[in-house]
């Protein structure tokens, strides 16, 4: 199947990779283009490049929203030869630079049970660490279009970046927002995630297009609903901790379903202890 980008704003395009339903965003300016996230493997990234080249022949600037393999393992294919800048949060840079094989092993173990062929490709793919760390905020000029990279706080990971394209009213949220499934909490900060999404909402207008890490593009109402679920989860975790409630008992009453909530509650308890 040939992958293609769909325009969601003025010269802003989204590609949905069917494997894991991951989104890639392409912002096209005059003489430059920005790619947000690079998929899971070299093969997937090569298909991504081919799709992007149908729209632009301009040099790339690359952004990774966080360090999980399905958002950054295509970096080498997109940005190694020729060499293009790759932006990411400082902690994402450090992980992919200093501990690439640990990140790879975690990815391999995660996907092996359900997708062994993908796991094999993950094991073979070369990892390229981002070259341009972002601590809180920076602006990238994409062919005359200012694009803001913002770290609004910890949430899905400790190094989430949000990409804002103001002139198109598009926000790329990474896995801070997910549409095709519940949020993932394995590396998350469930209590802080609430405030991070609140900060994301403050960047929206009623007409904003929000690109989640996985699934269909959404608007502020969807983000607001997910924020309410995250807030309910956070209060449940705080109350459960105060009452010394077992994780399993708390998870049965949590948003997003008991299986997902088990991980969320464990992470929330660890966050309260300072162990997350």
Q: Residue 138 burial (CB < 10 Å; 0-12/13-18/19+)?
A: middle
8-state DSSP, 166: G
| Residue 121, H or E segment | helix 116-124
CATH for 6-273, options being 3.30.565.10, 3.40.1400.10, 3.60.15.10, 3.30.70.3040: 3.60.15.10
Residue pLDDT tens, the chain, 276 long: 688 999 999 999 999 999 999 999 999 999 999 999 999 999 999 999 999 999 999 999 999 999 999 999 999 999 999 999 999 999 999 999 999 999 999 999 999 999 999 999 999 999 999 999 999 999 999 999 999 999 999 999 999 999 999 999 999 999 999 999 999 999 999 999 999 999 999 999 999 999 999 999 999 999 999 999 999 999 999 999 999 999 999 999 999 999 999 999 999 999 999 887
Output the pLDDT for position 1: 65
How far is it, in rounded angstroms, from Cα 13 to Cα 25? 6
Q: What does the domain layout of the chain look like in residue ranges?
A: 6-273
């Amino acid at each position: 199947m040939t992958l293609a980008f769909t325009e969601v704003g003025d010269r802003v395009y989204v590609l949905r990779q069917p494997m894991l339903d991951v989104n890639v965003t392409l912002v096209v300016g005059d003489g430059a283009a920005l790619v947000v996230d690079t998929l899971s493997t070299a093969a997937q990234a090569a298909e991504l490049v081919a799709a992007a080249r149908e729209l632009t022949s301009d040099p790339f600037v690359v952004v990774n929203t966080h360090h999980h393999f399905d958002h950054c393992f295509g970096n080498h294919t997109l940005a190694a030869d020729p060499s293009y800048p790759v932006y990411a949060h400082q902690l994402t840079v450090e992980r992919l630079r200093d501990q690439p094989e640990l990140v790879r092993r975690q990815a391999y173990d995660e996907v092996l049970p359900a997708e062994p062929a993908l796991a094999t490709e993950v094991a073979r793919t070369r990892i390229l660490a981002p070259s341009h760390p972002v601590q809180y905020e920076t602006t990238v000029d994409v062919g005359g279009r200012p694009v803001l990279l913002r770290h609004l706080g910890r949430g899905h990971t400790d190094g989430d970046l949000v990409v804002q394209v103001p002139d198109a009213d598009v926000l790329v949220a990474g896995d801070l927002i997910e549409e095709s499934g519940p949020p993932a909490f394995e590396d998350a900060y469930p209590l802080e995630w609430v405030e991070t999404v609140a900060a994301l909402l403050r960047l929206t207008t009623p007409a904003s297009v929000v690109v989640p890490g996985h699934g269909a593009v959404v608007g502020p109402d969807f983000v607001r609903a997910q924020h309410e679920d995250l807030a309910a989860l956070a209060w449940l975790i705080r109350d459960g901790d105060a009452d010394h409630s077992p994780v399993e008992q708390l998870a049965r009453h949590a948003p997003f379903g008991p299986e997902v909530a088990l991980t969320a509650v464990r992470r929330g308890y660890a966050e309260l202890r300072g162990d997350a």
